[in-house]
Amino acid sequence: MAEVDRFYYLGTPYLLKYSVMNTSLKRVSLAAVVILFGLGVSGQNQIPLNGPWEDEKFFNAGYTIGFNVMTFGINPSEQFTLTDSVYPARGSVSPGLNIHLALNFRLNQFFDIRLLPGISFGQRNVKYSSDRVHDTVFSPQKVESSFIEVPLQLRYGWRMQNIKPYVIGGINYRYDFYAQEKYRLERPVYLRLNRPDLYYEAGAGVGFYLGELRLALELKISNGIADVLAHDPHPEYPEYCNTIEKLKSRIWVLSLHFE
């Protein structure tokens, strides 16, 4: 009996130690489960997106900075090119600048209406030659423009985490306040443009959600609908105007939108 009691009392510390270790392991395991669960929930909360509330607002405002390339679509006049032996063609391109406000109105999860009033500056070049090979022998025409413009666009986009690709389409009213009402004798420019024009536009872009900032990179083409050439020939150099039947604007714009 003494041996049994001795064995029992000697074993008690080991049993107590094992019990304490088992309890500690359970506590550690429970703590680990709680931590892992918390991390999982936290991770799921972070997967949605930087500033999801921005997409739920009816109205957002920002600004746009863009770079443009302006050209002309030229329809030569067969009557005067044959008579005057002068052939017009598009010349080299020159970069220009766009600055706009960006006013965005949310319709639903996928569609927005965008209004982007602003100004743009650029230059278009027309070269002339004495034959259809377009070897330049006449003075090229550098036609500068400064527009007040009001693009109205419909945007369709779909959000994927913190990236939103989209496509746009719309119209743009431009008023060229730099266009001259009459020729200037001190400038060797023998073409005049009408001031107002209406454009149709199409393009695509991708938006990035960067915390509280939304940045979008966009490329679009803008095609003028009307003939912008003022058919009023220069009194000394009428061939520059007469050899063009129609002159339509075409503008490429690469924009950065900040909202």
Following DSSP, what letter does each residue of 217-256 receive, concatenated? EEEEEEEE-S--B-----SS-THHHHTEEEEEEEEEEEEE
Confidence at residue 94, expressed as pLDDT on a 0 to 100 scale: 93
The average pLDDT across 230-239 equals 92
pLDDT tens, residue by residue, 8-54: 444 444 344 445 445 554 454 454 444 434 434 443 344 455 555 55
- pLDDT bin (cut points 50, 70, 90) of residue 6 is very low
The residue ranking higher by pLDDT, 220 or 31, is 220
Residues 14 and 60 in one domain: no
User: Does one domain contain both 3 and 88?
Assistant: no
Structural domain range at position 39: 1-47
Q: Which residues lie closer than 8 Å to 249 by C-beta, 6 or more apart?
A: 70, 71, 72, 73, 124, 174, 197, 199, 222, 223, 224, 228
The answer to whether 149 and 175 have CB atoms below 8 angstroms apart is yes
CA-wise closest residue to 147 among 93, 203, 198: 198
Contact (CB, 8 A) for 166 and 136:
no
The answer on 227 and 100 residing in a single domain is: yes
Question: Which of 250, 70, 80 lies closest to 142, judged by CA?
Answer: 70
95 plus 4 within the same structural domain: no
- For the chain, the domain total comes to 2
CATH number, domain with residue 157: 2.40.160
**Does residue 57 sit in the same domain as residue 40?**
no
Residue ending a domain, among 47, 67, 82, is 47
Choose the weakest-confidence range: 119-128, 179-188, 248-257: 179-188
- Looking at every residue in the chain, the average pLDDT score rounds to 83
For residue 151 the two structure tokens come to 């693009």
Q: Are the beta carbons of 177 and 148 closer than 8 angstroms?
A: yes
Which residue, 61, 71, 84, is CA-closest to 250?
71
- Please report the pLDDT score of residue 212 as a whole number: 82
Confidence grade of residue 136 (pLDDT, cut at 50, 70, 90): low
126 and 170 share one domain: yes
Say whether both 15 and 31 belong to one domain: yes
- For residue 142, pLDDT beyond 90: yes
Do residues 58 and 32 share a domain? Answer: no
End of a domain among 12, 31, 47?
Answer: 47
Give the residue, 204 or 181, on which the prediction is more confident: 204
**pLDDT category, 187, cuts 50, 70, 90?**
confident
Residue 44's pLDDT is 39
Q: How confident is the model at residue 95 (pLDDT cuts 50, 70, 90)?
A: very high
Whole-model pTM: value is: 0.77
Do 106 and 29 lie in one domain? The reply is: no
Q: Same domain for 77 and 162?
A: yes
Checking if the pLDDT of 149 tops 60, the result is yes
**Same structural domain, 106 and 141:** yes
Same domain, yes or no, for 17 and 107?
no
Q: In the predicted model, is pLDDT for residue 107 greater than 90?
A: yes
For residue 187, give both structure tokens: 């400038």
